[in-house]
Amino acid sequence: MVQDYETLYLANFIEKSVELIGKPVIYLRSYGWNNSTDVEKINQSMDVYKSMLPVDMFDALHQSEFVFLVLEDIEEAIQFCEDTFPKDQASCEKEFYIHFSIMNELGQTVYSN
């Protein structure tokens, strides 16, 4: 290629995108649903999250492994994630693990599991 370009890894791309948006963002990844062959456990996990999450958030996670939520209040986001998702991958069965990262308006990850 004869033009200038910048190579970014996914994490760098997300950080730059969040910085351009200028608002806090929660990045969710439904890791367990996409990395298991135990359909019964996956369905159990989906049922649990379906009862806990807003419909549009659950639908987005059900349709895509990677979801981004643009928000206004980072403190409320932290509380929501602490109340809703596992504290880390080791604390639950893999089918129930949903990763979250909360980024401030500068694109810096300030909290994650």
3-state secondary structure of 6: coil
Per residue in 41-83, pLDDT tens? 999 999 999 999 999 999 999 999 999 999 999 999 999 999 9
Per residue in 5-26, pLDDT tens? 988 898 889 999 999 999 999 9
**pTM, whole model, 2 decimals?**
0.88
In the numeric block, the tokens 């994490």 are attached to: 11
Per the CB < 8 A criterion, the answer to whether 81 and 48 are in contact is no
* DSSP codes of every residue in 87-107: SSGGGS-GGG--EEEEE-TTS
In whole angstroms, what is the distance from residue 105 CA to residue 19 CA?
Answer: 6
